[in-house]
Amino acid sequence: MNKADIKELIQLMKEENMEVISIETDEVDIYLKSFGQSIEETGTNKRKKASSDSSKLTGAASGSSFSSGGELIDIKADQIGTFYTQPEEDSDETFVSVGDLVKPGDQVGLIETMKIFNEFLVKEAGTIEEILVNNGEAVEYDQVVMRLRSEEV
């Protein structure tokens, strides 16, 4: 599968109003997900540049619906790839740490898929309770990568 094939898949998603395409072969696994009205290609080979990239292929952490009472919410990977907790390879800085307060839209990591780096954002407000994957660790679709204690409303 080459870049032209991927562009064809993206065009097919646009034409057919598809939200997700997942292809698994012996040679490659591809997972494309549409967010909003348009699908755009994005990415770079350098993580430090990707952290400032904004795109429609931005990962969004999913979990149970927001409710009051300090509910523990699973933040799940929305695609397969390599999860990064640091914006740069040789940095000690992390996107978030246990105990950090986050709000919807905050970046908590990066997921690299096929040399494309996608921002990983939270949808809920709360406090990071657990980070379940290490920097550079492979993640599967729907795998819990963090747990968040929701804010009381």
Domain regions of the chain by residue span: 40-150
pLDDT at 60: 45
pLDDT at 131: 96
Cα–Cα distance between 50 and 82 in angstroms, integer? 14
| pLDDT tens sequence across 95-104 | 999 999 999 9
| pLDDT tens sequence across 11-67 | 887 877 777 777 777 777 777 776 654 444 433 333 443 333 333 333 444 443 333
Cα–Cα distance between 28 and 36 in angstroms, integer? 26
- As to burial, measured by CB atoms within 10 angstroms (0-12 exposed, 13-18 middle, 19+ buried), residue 35 is middle
The torsion angles phi and psi of 113, rounded to 5 degrees, stand at -135, 120
Q: Is the pTM of this model over 0.75?
A: no
pLDDT at 127: 95
Task: Tell me what percent of the residues of the chain surpass a pLDDT of 90.
Answer: 44
Q: Which CATH architecture has domain 40-150?
A: Beta Barrel (2.40)
